């Protein structure tokens, strides 16, 4: 990888951004209501990071995220992330989320159980809410018990989560609603 940089890119759910450093992708940002709001968020979360052309490994990840959000079945599991600054618990949660294939879902409780603590479902939700790399770490594939959407801290909330699951063909998304584009 090269020095830190960021780049915006268009997907089926809107304009997203990717941020990288020397050891991998450090952030993925889902669409905001406008590009100006997305850029404002980037200035807050990644101050001073210049907008630039992604290096080949990052561009490959961008192309694969775009394809996934166009209905492709790529799990993005081999995309290199730099998760410095996240706790060991969060790393474990993100690893389990990355193991959920496109078109499938798990629940907060099942992820907690796989971590060895059935009572940690709320903590799993909190970790996923702090996910710095949505899409690559597919937090949208973790739903509440009974297939309910549960929370989603990204712009658009549960509607964005449902839309991403619908694109992937996940049964937990339920039938499309009037709000699904």
The phi, psi pair for 153, rounded to 5°, reads -80, -5
Whole-number Å distance between alpha carbons of 172 and 121: 18
For the chain, 181 residues long, the average pLDDT of each consecutive 10-residue run is 88 96 96 94 95 97 97 94 96 97 94 96 95 96 84 77 90 53 39
For the whole model, what pTM was predicted?
0.90
**Residues with active-site annotation:** 139
Neighbours of 172 (CB within 10 A): 21
Query: What is residue 180's predicted lDDT score, i.e. its pLDDT?
Result: 40
Q: What is the distance of C-alpha 8 from the center of its chain?
A: 15
Tell which residue, 100, 90, 39, has the closest CA to residue 68: 100
Query: What is residue 179's predicted lDDT score, i.e. its pLDDT?
Result: 44
* 119: Cβ contacts below 8 Å, ≥ 6 apart: 112
Whole-number Å distance between alpha carbons of 120 and 141: 17
Whole-number Å distance between alpha carbons of 121 and 115: 10
Query: What is residue 149's predicted lDDT score, i.e. its pLDDT?
Result: 80
* 120: Cβ contacts below 8 Å, ≥ 6 apart: 112
């Amino acid at each position: 990888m090269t020095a830190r940089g960021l780049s915006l890119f268009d997907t089926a759910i809107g304009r997203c951004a990717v941020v990288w450093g020397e050891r991998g992708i450090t952030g993925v940002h889902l669409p905001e209501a406008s590009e100006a709001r997305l850029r404002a968020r980037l200035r807050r979360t990644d101050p001073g990071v210049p907008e630039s052309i992604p290096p080949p490994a990052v561009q490959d990840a961008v192309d694969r995220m775009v394809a996934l959000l166009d209905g492709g079945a790529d799990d993005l599991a081999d995309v290199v992330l730099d998760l410095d600054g996240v706790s060991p618990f969060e790393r474990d949660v993100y690893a389990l989320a990355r193991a959920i294939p496109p078109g499938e879902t798990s629940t907060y409780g099942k992820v907690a159980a796989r971590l060895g603590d059935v009572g940690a479902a709320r903590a799993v939700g909190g970790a996923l809410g702090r996910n710095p790399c949505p899409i690559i770490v597919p937090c949208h594939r973790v739903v509440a018990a009974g297939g309910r959407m549960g929370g989603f801290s990204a712009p658009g909330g549960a509607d964005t989560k449902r839309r991403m699951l619908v694109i992937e063909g996940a049964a937990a998304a339920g039938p499309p609603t009037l709000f699904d584009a």
